[in-house]
Amino acid sequence: MTQRLYLFAAWCLLIFAGSVAASYYAWSPFSDEDRGGTATVRGPTHK
Amino acid sequence: MTASRAIECPSCGGALAIKAAGHSVTLGCQYCGALLDVAHPDVAVISTYEGAVRSLPLPLGVRGTLFETEWEVIGALERSDDEIGWTEFLLFSPYAGYRWLVSSEGEWQFGTMLLDRPVNDGDTTIWRGKEYDLDYDPASTTTDRVVGEFYWRVRAGDRVNAATYSCGDETLSAEWTGDEISWTQLIPLSDYTIRTAFVPPPGAPRKTFGRKGGPPRPGAGAASSPGFLSRAHDDFMSARAMRQDDLMKMFLIGLATIMASLFVMVGFGISTQSVENTLNIAVDGQEQSLTIGTLTINRPHQPVTISARSSSFDNRWIDLDYMLVDRATQRAHTAYGVVERYSGTDSDGAWTEGGYSATVKFSSIPRGTYDVVVDAGAHAWPAPLTTSIMTSAPPGGSEPGPWDLPQATSWSDGERIELRFTASAGGIMWSNLWLEMALLFGLPLIILWWRSD
Longest dimension (CA), chain A: 57
Complex confidence, ipTM: 0.87
Beta-bridge partner residues of B296 = B369
B335 with A35: Cβ contact below 8 A: yes
Tally of CA atoms within 13 A in the half-sphere of B94 that contains its CB: 9
pLDDT band at A11 (very low <50, low <70, confident <90, very high): very high
Q: Which domains does chain B have, with CATH numbers?
A: 5-217+226-238 (no CATH), 247-269+437-451 (no CATH), 273-385+407-426 (2.60.120)
Residue B379, chain A, CB below 8 Å: the answer is yes
Name the residue among B257, B261, B383 with its Cβ closest to that of A41: B383
What's residue B215's pLDDT?
A: 34
Of B342, B360, B365, the CB nearest to A26: B365
**B residues 205..264 contacting A (CB < 8 A):** 245-246, 249-250, 253-254, 256-257, 260-261, 264
Buried b (16+ CB within 10 A) or exposed e, B382-407: eebeeeeeeeeeeeeeeeeeeeeeee
Which residues of chain B fall below pLDDT 70?
A: 1-3, 40-41, 43-55, 199-245, 383-413, 451-453
The Cα–Cα gap between B346 and A44 comes to 13
Distance from CA of A9 to the nearest CA of B (A): 7
Shortest alpha-carbon distance between residue B359 and chain A (Å): 9
User: A11 CB near a chain B CB, below 8 Å?
Assistant: yes
B318 to chain A nearest CA, in Å? 9
Instruction: Using an 8 Å CB-CB cutoff, list chain B residues near A9.
Output: 253
Q: Is A40's Cβ below 8 Å from some Cβ in B? A: no
Q: Kindly determine whether residue B382 and residue A19, on different chains, have CB atoms separated by under 8 Å.
A: no
Query: B271 CA to chain A: closest CA distance, Å?
Result: 12
Name the residue with higher pLDDT: B412 or A26. A26
Beta bridge partners of B422: B276, B307
Which CA distances in Å does B347 have to A47, B223, B294, B340, B381?
10, 52, 49, 23, 20
Alpha-carbon gap, residue B293 to B277, rounded angstroms: 7
Cα within 13 Å of Cα(B73), Cβ side: 26
